[in-house]
A = this chain, B = another copy of it.
Amino acid sequence: MAKEGADMTEETQFMIDTNPGKEPEHVESSGDAKEMRAVVLAGFGGLNKLRVTKKAMPEPQDGEVKIRVKACGLNFLDLMVRQGSIDNPPKLPIVPGFECSGIVESVGENTAGFEIGDRVMAFVNYNAWAEVVCTPADFVYKMPEEMSFAEAAAFSLNFVAAYMMLFEVANLREGMSVLVHSAGGGVGQAVAQLCSTVPNVTVFGIASCSKHAAIRDSVTHLFDRNVDYMQEVQKISPEGVDIVLDCLCGENTAKGLTLLRPLGTYILYGASNMVTGETKSFFSFAKSWWQVEKVNPIKLYEENKVIAGFSLLNLLFKHGKCNLVKSVMDKLLCLFDQKKIKPVVDSLWALEEVKEAMQRIHDRGNVGKLILDVEKSPTPLMASDSTETSEAGEEEEEPEEDNDSKERMPFIH
């Protein structure tokens, strides 16, 4: 196995093949207008598969917008992509990242609705973690004036997903109850805020104890993810809950279905339990596929229950629902203007700090969204701290020798 720093030959060779103009890592600025800095994933596996390198500057195609990126969102899914723990993993190398905010630098032919200089946020089918991104105008939205670039990068995916699950897939109404896993994460915080726009909604949040102080006010009831939350919820609400939002999968699917009230809806919108200490292989997705409990439609009939799956990225990039997403974004921007919702930013990281940021989301240390701030310089290493962070997907790796893996102090928002 290639050791980063100590033995980079394999990966270096690989990058030379695909990025002939590449420069050494940690380039601080993109002096050459034909090149840009980007985070590149060179192979599936641990943190050492990521690096910052120069890539050729993309140019907008027909119908596309070219964006000078200011901030990018980091999601748990990016970690699963890095491990290859998703269905149909992409062909490598790629630049990861599905969302960003920035300024329109140019537009392709037949691209309507945007002008150079527009402040925008956008979905990208990979490639977001770079200084410049091109994406179809259908996936680009103008930012409100009052929204910062970091907030915009924290907004799109989390709030659109939360809104569509609560109001499109389920039908959240006055007096209902919602259970949300990872209540401290980006989607969890968006769910909590959107629930508060409907009268008298009870939110059961599940989160690590370490986050409880920070998020206690955002939910009605808060439970430790390590306790038997089923029993706790049933104590408070013996009838169960109306909506369960689960990004974990595994045993939580059966628990979620059990907790549903009649006519209640369980929505699976992620499968982060697939990222475990034991697996980081291509097969972990398939493995989980077989391990997850199947649902009998006749049981749903007997119990008057609904089970749904929701993947915003598939909806956008596979299922062609960008018009629907645009209409949802319009509603969300109204709520933002009315100051009813506001994205929660956990911390800002330089592109060069992507490994530390990923470690933080892996350890579920974040409250709200992790943001890659493209213009930020890496925070100097703490001289006092040379402890290696242990990352669950990396047991088989040699310890990383390069400075990147030393802990940095993030810019906590």
A192 to B293, CA, bound (A): 35
Nearest chain B CB to A149's CB is how many angstroms away?
29
Report A151-195 CB contacts with B as 1/0, cut-off 8 Å: 000000000000000001101000000000000000000000000
Cβ–Cβ contact B296 & A294, under 8 A:
yes
Given known contacts A301-B309, A304-B310, A309-B304, A319 and B271 CB-to-CB distance under 8 angstroms:
no
Chain B nearest CB, measured from A320 CB (Å): 8
Do A298 and B309 form a contact, CB below 8 Å, given A168-B263, A171-B168, A262-B321?
Answer: yes
CA distance A310 to B263 in the complex (A): 8
A61 within 8 A of partner (CB): no
> Are B300 and A268 within 8 A (Cβ)?
yes
Question: Are B311 and A302 neighbours in the complex by a CB distance under 8 Å?
Answer: yes
Q: How far is the CB of A112 from chain B (nearest CB, A)?
A: 23
Q: Is A19 an interface residue (CB 8 A)?
A: no
A262 to chain B, nearest CB (A): 4
The complex places the Cα of A95 from the Cα of B120 at a distance, in Å, of 67
Whether A298 and B249, one on each chain, are in contact in the complex, defined by CB atoms closer than 8 angstroms, is yes
Closest to A247 in B: B301
Q: Which residues of B contact A261 (CB under 8 A)?
A: 319
B263 touches A302 (CB 8 A): no
Instruction: Confirm or deny: A208 has a beta carbon within 8 angstroms of a beta carbon on chain B.
Output: no
**What number of A residues sit within 8 Å (CB to CB) of B?**
42
Query: A311 to B307, alpha carbons, bound, how many Å?
Result: 15
- Tally of this chain's copies: 2
Chain B residue nearest to A266 (CB atoms) is B297
Instruction: Check if A3 is an interface residue, CB within 8 A of chain B.
Output: no
- Cβ-defined contact, B311 with A297, below 8 A: no
Collect the chain B residues with CB atoms within 8 Å of residue A268's CB: 297-298, 300-301
Residue with the highest number of chain B CB atoms closer than 10 Å, among A168, A289, A305, A308: A308
**Complex-state Cα separation, A262 to B319, whole angstroms:** 6
Contact of A87 with B by CB under 8 A: yes
Q: Do the beta carbons of A310 and B321 come within 8 Å of each other?
A: no
Asked if A223 CB lies within 8 Å of chain B CBs, one says: no
- A306 at interface by CB-CB < 8 Å: yes
A288 to B302, CA, bound (A): 13
Q: Write out, one digit per residue, whether chain A residues 239-265 have a CB within 8 A of any chain B CB (1) or not (0).
A: 000000000010001000000011101
Mark A residues whose CB is within 8 Å of B.
87, 168-169, 171, 249, 253, 261-263, 265, 268-271, 288-289, 292-311, 314-315, 318-319, 321, 324
Q: 17 more A-B contacts (CB under 8 A) besides A253-B297, A270-B301, A297-B309?
A: A87-B302, A249-B298, A262-B314, A263-B321, A263-B324, A265-B306, A271-B301, A293-B297, A294-B296, A301-B310, A301-B311, A302-B309, A302-B311, A303-B314, A305-B309, A306-B307, A307-B307
